[in-house]
Amino acid sequence: MEPPAEGGLSGVAALHEPVADDRLRSEAPRAFARATRPISGSLLALAGALACGLATIGALVYVLTMRDSQAAAERHHASLTRALAEFQTVLADATVHRAQVIAARGGIAADDLEQHLAPNGLPRYRHQRAYLIGRDGRVAASWPSDAKAVPAAITAAVTALRREISPLRSARSRSFGERDDRAEPMPVTNDIVVIDRQPMLAALVPMPDQAGGMPTDPPVLVALAPIDATMVGALADASGLPGLRFGIDPFEDGGPLHSQTDRRGRIVGWFSWDEADGALSRHLLWLLPIGGGIAFLGFAALSLLQIRRAAGGLGQIEVELRRIAQEDSLTGMPNRRRIIALLGRTIGERRAPDGVVFACLDLDSFKEVNEVLGHDVGDKVIAETAERLRSAVSSQAAIGRIDGDEFAVVMPVRSGESALDTARACAHALSKPFRIGDQVIHVSASIGFALAPRDGATPHELIRRADLAVRAAKKGGRGRILAFHHGLEEEINERRFIEQELRQALADGSLSVFYQPIVGGDGLRIVGAEALVRWKHPTRGNIPPSVFVAVAEQTGLMIQLGGFVLRRALADARDWPTLYIAINLSPIQVRDRGLVRTVAGALHESGIDPARVVLEITEGVLIDNPEEAKHRLKELRGLGVKIALDDFGSGYSSLSYLRRLPIDKLKIDKEFVAPLGRSANGGVILQAIVALGRALGLSVLAEGVETEEQRLLLRLAGCDELQGFLFARPMPAPDFVAFAASGVAVPLPTGEPSEPAGSLAGPAEAEEAAKDEPARKSSGAAGQGALADR
């Protein structure tokens, strides 16, 4: 800086050389110097300050650049860790969602498990394997479906997870009194496992039971995503690391190394990447402050200009993002979050005596539309449904889509009748056929609604109660409209009470099994007994099986309840070795893959001859999945037990099922027995069923026999066995043993018919048969004597 300054002063002095006066010529330079000294000092000070500042900045940049290598390495490690954590989070969230869907569809007993294990979503985040590990450690379902063997690494991870769950579950049990009723989110564990020398990201989600509780050894859903070339490429994009690569052994090319460990700190592989050359020339470092300053000023000016231009655009983007966050993309309607906000605002603006209605609309059979016609057609049906609902309600109403096939309406109304009119208008709008392309689709809607302030004063109360109403409407049939009433809550509370008490009863063993005798067709010989579960509650007394069995089927307790009845009945049947025991199986039990193992274990524990065991199923088992039912029944018969089709005639009664499935006996439903003696045609259908059973080589049992006339007519029809209150009501095991030892005592007015089986035409034959009563009494005495001898 000094040479230019000296040159500048010489140039200024040269301007005064033409002055003639020597004194002036000699004084001019000094005067100029004195006059310009303050300015020069300021300029020098400014230049010095600028030089010092630039030197300081240059030194700082130099030092920072020298230290940047280490900091860059640390940043690269952190970027890679964050990118991998993001993949683990996405995999974990997707696995939790799959676990929730499986739990909602019945848990590990659901039919379509493998469908929910298939990958979906963005390709880079998809898993390649999935296992649903049962409580016994075996694969309950997998994807791909042929992956039935559980890798050792997965078994170890599941075992470790279950060990971690046990103390957590105990801690939660101790603090149960401090918890509210809200369901806790499913826990998820991220890990990295090595399978066949291939490290994989693993997400493990323990599955709760149907009540939302976590058992000691729960089923575990495991999703696996290999750290392969596809994932490494995605990690490189996310972390910004050039040339990212992964291997199970350290790389020897001199690049940076990042060891990857599992949850237990064991190294499962190594990442490496290309290190950019960040060293700058020392000469260029001194130019950085100047160039940086100029660039900073230019950037600051441009930034201010762009910020001013973008200020308005940011506001528009914010509005658009807010709209997207609160709007359904398919229909343009408010989504669930927005509807809840609108409901709260509408309730807050309500003025007495007006009310606010919240209606839930659930499309009936929409799942079949998606499955049969495809999701694109389903989307068009949803879009047209939205348009129809908009035109069906007034402009004061807010309509939203709150779920896949569920809509909601929020509207101020004058009365409950106005709310009902709105629901009817919506139902009428959806009752017309949908024409999508060349398809004509009929879709109705079940509607439930709640009215504020009558049914609640908060959005939460109205939504919950409207949801109860729409569920009850769907349960009652298609296209129903139902307003909330407190009986719905009472029903829910009652079902919850029954579920809790039934769980306790199963744990305490306070249920009992009664036995109703089954007699031969002549009504004189006891041939067996049917096991019937009974529950005497300590405060409510006897609770009907129709009540608690239904709750058991809905809450996942049916397998446990059925297993209890099976083991108790086989144990009690050892006390009547010459009679068979009939045990009912629920459709849920038949669909259970562990049923055959359960029956075999119970037979082994009791030591009873399998030929004395009859397992009764209903026609619903055959309708749901005939091939699976056929396979299951063949496995059961392979144990040596017999299969009876219960309540025949009350359901589908498909003849093809009777021909194809391994069935040994038909049980005629009591609704065909009750009309006997009162209707001339009452015995025609029954006789046809008996003839059908005989043609197929099946024995036939008629249940619900309550009168002597019915017994005589059933005997004429050719029924092999009878059961009903005419002979005895269900009784505890000790009473049944005593009853079996004493024989059957049936009041007989006259005689026993001697006509061959299959001659039933009406009640007149029963009167004709009374002439042979003495002979029948004689044979009855002989039968009782023989029974007593046994």
pLDDT at 778: 35
**pLDDT at site 322:** 77
**Token code pair at residue 398:** 């807010």
3-state secondary structure of 197: coil
Q: Which residues make Cβ contacts (< 8 Å) with residue 691, sequence separation at least 6?
A: 718, 758
pLDDT at 236: 87
pLDDT (0 to 100) of residue 332: 87
Predicted local confidence at residue 289, as pLDDT: 61
Mean pLDDT of 585-590: 92
Whether 70 and 275 have beta carbons less than 8 Å apart is answered as no
Q: Residue 16 pLDDT > 90, yes or no?
A: no
| Most confident listed range (116-120, 151-155, 356-360, 658-662) | 356-360
pLDDT digits (tens, 9 = 90+) for 622-674: 766 778 888 999 999 999 999 999 888 766 656 776 777 889 999 998 888 98
pLDDT tens across 494-510, in order? 889 999 999 999 999 89
Where does the pLDDT of residue 746 fall: very low under 50, low under 70, confident under 90, or very high at 90 and above? low
On average, the pLDDT of the chain sits at: 79
Q: How confident is the model at residue 77 (pLDDT cuts 50, 70, 90)?
A: confident
Q: Which of 368-372, 514-518, 628-632, 757-761 has maximum average pLDDT?
A: 514-518
Give helix 486-508 / helix 459-476 axis angle, nearest 10°.
80
> Residue 101: which pLDDT band, with cuts at 50, 70 and 90?
confident
Q: What is the pLDDT of residue 522?
A: 84
Q: Residues 112, 118, 122, 128: what is their CA dihedral angle, to the nearest 10 degrees?
A: 160
d(CA 523, CA 719): 11
Ramachandran angles phi, psi of 15, nearest 5°: -65, -20
Angle (nearest 5°) at CA 36 between 30 and 41? 115
Q: Which helix (H) or strand (E) is 655 found in, with range?
A: helix 655-660
At residue 541 the predicted structure's pLDDT band, cuts being 50, 70 and 90, is: very high
Q: What average pLDDT does this structure show over 150-165?
A: 85
Q: Inform me whether the pLDDT recorded for 41 exceeds 60.
A: no
Euclidean distance between CA atoms 41 and 577, whole angstroms: 124
Mean pLDDT value of segment 367-393: 90
pLDDT tens per residue across span 458-498: 999 999 999 999 998 988 888 899 999 888 888 888 889 99
Structure tokens at 315: 């506001």
pLDDT digits (tens, 9 = 90+) for 263-299: 888 898 999 888 765 444 444 555 566 666 676 677 6
Rg of the chain on CA atoms, in Å = 42
What are the tokens at 582?
């009939």
Q: State the Cα–Cα distance between residues 245 and 229, nearest whole angstrom.
A: 8
Query: Does the N-terminal peptide bond of residue 206 adopt cis geometry, omega within 30 degrees of 0?
Result: no
Residue 743 confidence (pLDDT): 67
- Edge to edge, the sheet with strand 445-452 lists 398-401, 406-413, 355-363, 445-452, 481-483
Residue 613 — φ and ψ, nearest 5°? -110, 130
Q: Which of 428, 359, 429 is nearest to 397 (CA)?
A: 359
What are the start-end ranges of the H helices in 535-654?
Answer: 545-555, 558-572, 587-591, 595-606, 619-624, 626-638
pLDDT of 361 > 70? The answer is yes
Residue 119: helix, strand or coil by DSSP? coil
Q: Please give the distance of CA 238 from its chain centroid, rounded to a whole number.
A: 32
**Residue 488 · residue 475 · CB < 8 Å:** no
Q: Is 183 exposed, middle or buried (0-12, 13-18, 19+ CB in 10 A)?
A: exposed
**For residues 735 and 106, which has the higher predicted lDDT (pLDDT)?**
735
Given a cut of 60, whether residue 345 has pLDDT beyond it is: yes
pLDDT exceeds cutoff 70 at 320 = yes
- Long-range pairs, 593-601, Cβ under 8 A, ≥24: 593/140, 594/559, 595/632, 595/636, 596/632, 596/635, 596/636, 596/639, 598/563, 598/566, 599/566, 599/636, 599/639, 599/641, 600/639
User: For 612-621, b where at least 16 C-beta lie within 10 A, e where not — what string?
Assistant: bbbbbbbbeb
Q: What is the pLDDT of residues 188-207, one digit of tens each?
A: 888 898 988 889 999 889 88
